[in-house]
Structure 1
Protein backbone atom coordinates (compact mmCIF):
# COMPACT_ATOMS: atom_id res chain seq x y z
CA UNK A 1 0.00 0.00 0.00
CA UNK A 2 1.68 3.18 -1.23
CA UNK A 3 0.60 6.34 0.58
CA UNK A 4 1.95 9.63 -0.66
CA UNK A 5 2.63 11.89 2.30
CA UNK A 6 1.83 15.13 0.47
CA UNK A 7 -1.58 13.93 -0.69
CA UNK A 8 -2.34 12.53 2.76
CA UNK A 9 -1.37 15.86 4.35
CA UNK A 10 -3.52 17.75 1.83
CA UNK A 11 -6.47 15.49 2.61
CA UNK A 12 -5.99 16.03 6.34
CA UNK A 13 -5.87 19.79 5.85
CA UNK A 14 -9.04 19.79 3.75
CA UNK A 15 -10.82 17.64 6.34
CA UNK A 16 -9.64 20.00 9.08
CA UNK A 17 -10.93 23.01 7.17
CA UNK A 18 -14.23 21.22 6.58
CA UNK A 19 -14.57 20.40 10.28
CA UNK A 20 -13.88 24.02 11.22
CA UNK A 21 -16.47 25.24 8.75
CA UNK A 22 -13.80 26.59 6.35
CA UNK A 23 -12.69 29.17 8.92
CA UNK A 24 -9.09 30.24 9.21
CA UNK A 25 -7.29 28.92 12.30
CA UNK A 26 -6.75 31.21 15.30
CA UNK A 27 -3.59 33.32 15.56
CA UNK A 28 -1.97 30.74 17.83
CA UNK A 29 -2.71 27.91 15.41
CA UNK A 30 -4.75 24.75 15.83
CA UNK A 31 -2.35 23.22 18.34
CA UNK A 32 -2.52 26.06 20.85
CA UNK A 33 -5.36 26.41 23.32
CA UNK A 34 -4.74 30.13 23.85
CA UNK A 35 -3.91 32.61 21.10
CA UNK A 36 -1.61 35.63 21.43
CA UNK A 37 -4.40 37.81 22.85
CA UNK A 38 -5.14 35.36 25.66
CA UNK A 39 -8.44 34.18 24.23
CA UNK A 40 -9.28 30.49 24.46
CA UNK A 41 -9.25 28.73 21.10
CA UNK A 42 -12.76 27.54 20.26
CA UNK A 43 -11.60 24.03 19.37
CA UNK A 44 -10.34 23.40 22.92
CA UNK A 45 -13.51 24.80 24.49
CA UNK A 46 -15.60 22.71 22.08
CA UNK A 47 -13.68 19.61 23.16
CA UNK A 48 -14.33 20.46 26.80
CA UNK A 49 -18.04 20.96 26.12
CA UNK A 50 -18.20 17.72 24.14
CA UNK A 51 -16.50 15.82 26.95
CA UNK A 52 -18.81 17.33 29.56
CA UNK A 53 -21.88 16.45 27.48
CA UNK A 54 -20.64 12.89 27.04
CA UNK A 55 -20.14 12.48 30.78
CA UNK A 56 -23.60 13.90 31.46
CA UNK A 57 -25.08 11.41 28.99
CA UNK A 58 -23.31 8.51 30.72
CA UNK A 59 -24.60 9.76 34.07
CA UNK A 60 -28.16 10.00 32.72
CA UNK A 61 -27.95 6.45 31.35
CA UNK A 62 -26.75 5.22 34.75
CA UNK A 63 -29.60 7.02 36.54
CA UNK A 64 -32.18 5.73 34.06
CA UNK A 65 -30.97 2.16 34.47
CA UNK A 66 -31.06 2.51 38.26
CA UNK A 67 -34.58 3.93 38.19
CA UNK A 68 -35.82 1.14 35.92
CA UNK A 69 -34.19 -1.50 38.11
CA UNK A 70 -35.80 -0.03 41.22
CA UNK A 71 -39.19 0.24 39.53
CA UNK A 72 -39.03 -3.36 38.32
CA UNK A 73 -37.98 -4.60 41.76
CA UNK A 74 -40.89 -2.74 43.35
CA UNK A 75 -43.30 -4.52 41.02
CA UNK A 76 -44.14 -1.68 38.62
CA UNK A 77 -46.06 -3.31 35.74
CA UNK A 78 -45.10 -0.55 33.27
CA UNK A 79 -41.44 -1.62 33.33
CA UNK A 80 -40.54 -4.95 31.76
CA UNK A 81 -37.48 -7.06 32.43
CA UNK A 82 -36.35 -6.48 28.85
CA UNK A 83 -36.38 -2.70 29.33
CA UNK A 84 -34.36 -3.08 32.52
CA UNK A 85 -31.79 -5.32 30.84
CA UNK A 86 -31.45 -3.01 27.83
CA UNK A 87 -31.04 0.08 30.02
CA UNK A 88 -28.49 -1.75 32.16
CA UNK A 89 -26.56 -2.88 29.09
CA UNK A 90 -26.58 0.63 27.60
CA UNK A 91 -25.27 2.14 30.80
CA UNK A 92 -22.62 -0.56 31.14
CA UNK A 93 -21.37 -0.06 27.59
CA UNK A 94 -21.34 3.72 28.02
CA UNK A 95 -19.37 3.40 31.25
CA UNK A 96 -16.88 0.99 29.65
CA UNK A 97 -16.39 3.39 26.72
CA UNK A 98 -15.86 6.28 29.13
CA UNK A 99 -13.24 4.33 31.05
CA UNK A 100 -11.46 3.46 27.80
CA UNK A 101 -11.41 7.12 26.74
CA UNK A 102 -10.08 8.10 30.15
CA UNK A 103 -7.36 5.45 29.90
CA UNK A 104 -6.32 6.72 26.47
CA UNK A 105 -6.20 10.31 27.71
CA UNK A 106 -4.07 9.33 30.70
CA UNK A 107 -1.79 7.28 28.44
CA UNK A 108 -1.40 10.22 26.04
CA UNK A 109 -0.70 12.58 28.94
CA UNK A 110 1.98 10.27 30.33
CA UNK A 111 3.57 9.93 26.89
CA UNK A 112 3.63 13.70 26.41
CA UNK A 113 5.08 14.25 29.87
CA UNK A 114 7.85 11.72 29.23
CA UNK A 115 8.97 13.44 26.01
CA UNK A 116 12.34 15.14 26.23
CA UNK A 117 12.26 18.92 25.93
Structure 2
Protein backbone atom coordinates (compact mmCIF):
# COMPACT_ATOMS: atom_id res chain seq x y z
CA UNK A 1 0.00 0.00 0.00
CA UNK A 2 1.46 3.39 -1.01
CA UNK A 3 0.92 6.25 1.43
CA UNK A 4 3.34 8.70 -0.16
CA UNK A 5 2.29 12.29 -0.62
CA UNK A 6 2.93 13.76 -4.03
CA UNK A 7 4.40 17.24 -4.12
CA UNK A 8 2.36 19.91 -5.84
CA UNK A 9 3.96 22.16 -8.41
CA UNK A 10 2.36 25.50 -7.59
CA UNK A 11 4.20 27.30 -10.39
CA UNK A 12 1.96 25.73 -13.05
CA UNK A 13 -1.81 26.11 -13.27
CA UNK A 14 -3.88 23.06 -12.46
CA UNK A 15 -5.26 21.02 -15.33
CA UNK A 16 -8.26 22.74 -16.84
CA UNK A 17 -7.49 26.14 -15.30
CA UNK A 18 -6.51 28.86 -17.71
CA UNK A 19 -3.38 30.86 -16.89
CA UNK A 20 -3.97 34.55 -16.02
CA UNK A 21 -4.80 36.58 -19.10
CA UNK A 22 -6.11 33.61 -21.08
CA UNK A 23 -9.71 32.58 -21.42
CA UNK A 24 -10.65 29.00 -20.59
CA UNK A 25 -12.29 27.20 -23.46
CA UNK A 26 -14.74 24.32 -23.31
CA UNK A 27 -12.18 22.05 -24.95
CA UNK A 28 -9.40 23.05 -22.56
CA UNK A 29 -11.02 22.53 -19.19
CA UNK A 30 -14.41 21.03 -19.83
CA UNK A 31 -17.50 22.42 -18.21
CA UNK A 32 -19.11 22.36 -14.80
CA UNK A 33 -21.52 19.58 -15.73
CA UNK A 34 -18.69 17.24 -16.76
CA UNK A 35 -16.66 18.09 -13.65
CA UNK A 36 -19.64 17.36 -11.39
CA UNK A 37 -20.42 14.14 -13.24
CA UNK A 38 -16.83 12.92 -12.80
CA UNK A 39 -16.85 13.89 -9.11
CA UNK A 40 -20.14 12.05 -8.51
CA UNK A 41 -18.84 8.97 -10.31
CA UNK A 42 -15.65 9.04 -8.23
CA UNK A 43 -17.68 9.37 -5.02
CA UNK A 44 -19.88 6.46 -6.06
CA UNK A 45 -16.84 4.33 -6.88
CA UNK A 46 -15.27 5.11 -3.49
CA UNK A 47 -18.48 4.17 -1.69
CA UNK A 48 -18.76 0.93 -3.66
CA UNK A 49 -15.14 0.02 -2.91
CA UNK A 50 -15.59 0.85 0.77
CA UNK A 51 -18.66 -1.36 0.97
CA UNK A 52 -16.90 -4.20 -0.81
CA UNK A 53 -13.87 -4.05 1.46
CA UNK A 54 -16.05 -3.85 4.55
CA UNK A 55 -17.99 -6.91 3.45
CA UNK A 56 -14.82 -8.84 2.61
CA UNK A 57 -13.25 -7.93 5.95
CA UNK A 58 -16.34 -9.03 7.88
CA UNK A 59 -16.24 -12.35 6.02
CA UNK A 60 -12.64 -12.84 7.30
CA UNK A 61 -11.01 -12.59 3.88
CA UNK A 62 -7.26 -12.86 4.65
CA UNK A 63 -6.32 -10.60 1.72
CA UNK A 64 -8.24 -7.60 3.13
CA UNK A 65 -6.69 -5.77 6.07
CA UNK A 66 -8.42 -3.62 8.66
CA UNK A 67 -6.21 -0.66 7.72
CA UNK A 68 -7.17 -0.90 4.07
CA UNK A 69 -10.85 -1.14 4.98
CA UNK A 70 -10.71 1.85 7.34
CA UNK A 71 -8.83 4.02 4.84
CA UNK A 72 -11.37 3.21 2.13
CA UNK A 73 -14.17 4.12 4.53
CA UNK A 74 -12.59 7.46 5.42
CA UNK A 75 -11.94 8.28 1.75
CA UNK A 76 -15.57 7.46 0.99
CA UNK A 77 -16.79 9.61 3.87
CA UNK A 78 -14.66 12.59 2.84
CA UNK A 79 -15.82 12.34 -0.77
CA UNK A 80 -19.46 12.15 0.32
CA UNK A 81 -19.14 15.13 2.68
CA UNK A 82 -17.45 17.14 -0.08
CA UNK A 83 -20.25 16.26 -2.48
CA UNK A 84 -22.84 17.40 0.07
CA UNK A 85 -21.03 20.69 0.64
CA UNK A 86 -20.81 21.39 -3.10
CA UNK A 87 -24.50 20.59 -3.47
CA UNK A 88 -25.35 22.93 -0.60
CA UNK A 89 -23.31 25.74 -2.16
CA UNK A 90 -24.96 25.25 -5.55
CA UNK A 91 -28.44 25.29 -3.99
CA UNK A 92 -27.54 28.41 -1.99
CA UNK A 93 -26.25 30.16 -5.14
CA UNK A 94 -29.42 29.21 -7.02
CA UNK A 95 -31.58 30.51 -4.15
CA UNK A 96 -29.60 33.77 -4.03
CA UNK A 97 -30.02 34.27 -7.78
CA UNK A 98 -33.75 33.52 -7.65
CA UNK A 99 -34.21 36.03 -4.80
CA UNK A 100 -32.48 38.84 -6.71
CA UNK A 101 -34.72 41.64 -7.84
CA UNK A 102 -34.33 42.68 -11.43
Shorter-chain TM-score range: 0.7 to 0.9
Deviation at 1:17? 1.4
Q: Which has the higher helix share?
A: 1
- Asked if 1:59 is matched to 2:64, the reply is no
Which sections of structure 1, spanning at least 5 residues, go unmatched? 1-13, 24-41
Alignment of 1:8-27 (within 5 A): 15=20, 17=22, 20=24
Determine the C-alpha separation between the residues in 1 that align with 2:78 and 2:60.
26
**Residue 33 of structure 1 aligns with which residue?**
none
Distance 1:93 1:110, change over 3 A: same
Q: Number of residue pairs matched? A: 84
**Residue 78 of structure 1 aligns with which residue?**
63
Deviation at 1:16? 5.8
Runs of 4 or more consecutive aligned structure 1 residues displaced over 3 Å after TM superposition: none
Deviation at 1:63? 0.1
Deviation at 1:15? 2.2
Deviation at 1:47? 1.2
Alignment of 1:8-47 (within 5 A): 15=20, 17=22, 20=24, 42=26, 46-47=31-32
Q: Which has the larger radius of gyration?
A: 1
Higher relative contact order (CA 8 A, sep 6+): 2
Which sections of structure 2, spanning at least 5 residues, go unmatched? 1-18
**Residue 39 of structure 1 aligns with which residue?**
none
* Alignment root-mean-square deviation, CA: 2.3
Deviation at 1:103? 0.3
**TM-score, normalised by the number of residues in structure 1:** 0.65
